[in-house]
Structure 1
Amino acid sequence: MMTFLAEEGAQNPLIPDTAELVVGLLCFFIVFGLLGKKLLPNIQKTLAERHDAIEGGLERAEKAQAEANRTLEEYKAQLAEARHEAARITEQAREQGAQIITEMREEGQRQRDAIVTAGHAQIEADRRQVTTALRQEVGRLATDLAGRVVGESLQDSARQSRVIDRFLDGLEDSAASAEAAR
């Protein structure tokens, strides 16, 4: 074997033999072709899936963030509307309460006035009834007393009634003039 090397002369170790170079390139292209046909599509598919997952995840996250912001704005708007509605209802309740209180006061005043008026009317009716009863009693007593003084019976009712009326009218006039003098 050594003789073979010596016959060819000095060969450069950096330059390969042409047959080896051709076989090596042929194997390289076969392996590269097989890898390109089988492995490269799987790698491309995996990279595309990862890219889609990352980009899709970012897009989904952006969409979710936009949806969350939109929902938050809707919530804030609904909350502001609910607060406004609550304030309106509270104010309306205050107004109705004030109106009810006013109506109740007016009704109480009307009832009080009606009771006072009825009381005055009852007092006036009782006063007239008592005055009539008192007149009759005073008249009877005066007639009995006058009959005793005169010594005869004064049973004539017309005369008795006139005497009693004059007497009581005189008493009322003197009471009225005493009242006016005060």
Structure 2
Amino acid sequence: MIQFLADEGPQNPLLPSMPELIIGLICFFIVFGLLGKKLLPNIQKTLEERRDAIEGGLERAAAAQEEANRTLEEYKAQLAEARHEAARITEHAREQGATIIAEMREEGQRQRDAIVEAGHAQIDADRRQVTTVLRQDVGRIAAELAGRVVGESLEDEARQSRIIDRFLDELDAKADAAEGAVK
């Protein structure tokens, strides 16, 4: 056998012999055919499923993105509506507050005027009462003094009352004249 290899001549280690090459090619085509018939359809099917999944995923992602954008726009619109409503409520509350303040001021003014008016009425009543008491006291004192000056008793009530009233009327007239001159 060694002789057989030596007779053929120098052999290239990179080139196989012809029978080995033919057997290798036949085995290659058998394995390639079996793989093509059994494995290639499964690979094609898996690739098709992946392509569908990717394309469907992209479509679902685009639909989800579109839905998210619609929802975002709805939320923005609701937020704008809520802000508008809050501004309207705030403005309404300010108006009501201003109205309440104005009403309270008017009520306070009315109560103040009523208190001042009641005070004036009380002062006038007190003044009349004091004037009446003073007239009586002045009349009594004047009658006593007049009785001492004249030397006789002014016991007649009607006469005494007329004299006192005339005297006090003259005093009031002088006081009114003095006030008119000051003004």
In the TM superposition, residue 30 of structure 1 has moved relative to its aligned partner by: 9.3
Deviations 1:11-34 (A, max 9, x none): xxxxx9xxx8xxx59x957973x5
Mind listing any 5+ residue stretches in structure 1 that lack a counterpart? Answer: 3-15
Residue 124 (str. 1) matches residue 124 (str. 2): yes
Aligned match of 1:61: 61
Letter of the structure 1 residue corresponding to residue 155 of structure 2? Q
Residue 71 (str. 1) matches residue 105 (str. 2): no
Residues 123-162 of structure 1 mapped to structure 2, 5 A cutoff: 123-162=123-162
Residue 87 (str. 1) matches residue 78 (str. 2): no
TM-score between the two structures when normalised by the length of structure 1: 0.77
Aligned match of 1:172: 172
In the TM superposition, residue 126 of structure 1 has moved relative to its aligned partner by: 0.7
Deviations 1:120-162 (A, max 9, x none): 1111101100100100000110111112222333232222211
2-structure distance, mates of 1:141, 1:104: 53
1-structure distance, mates of 2:29, 2:180: 147
Aligned match of 2:38: 38
Q: Identity over aligned residues, as a percent?
A: 77
In the TM superposition, residue 62 of structure 1 has moved relative to its aligned partner by: 0.5
Aligned match of 1:105: 105
Which deviates more from structure 2 when the two are superposed, residues 121-130 or residues 159-168? 159-168
Mind listing any 5+ residue stretches in structure 2 that lack a counterpart? Answer: 5-17
Aligned match of 1:11: none
2-structure distance, mates of 1:152, 1:166: 20
Deviations 1:26-79 (A, max 9, x none): x957973x5455323322321122112211211121012111111111111111
Aligned match of 1:96: 96
Residues 4-43 of structure 1 mapped to structure 2, 5 A cutoff: 28=29, 32=33, 34-35=34-35, 38-43=38-43
Letter of the structure 1 residue corresponding to residue 173 of structure 2? D
1-structure distance, mates of 2:81, 2:155: 94
Q: SS state of the match for residue 86, structure 1?
A: helix
Aligned match of 1:8: none
> How many residues are treated as equivalent by the alignment?
162
TM-score between the two structures when normalised by the length of structure 2: 0.77
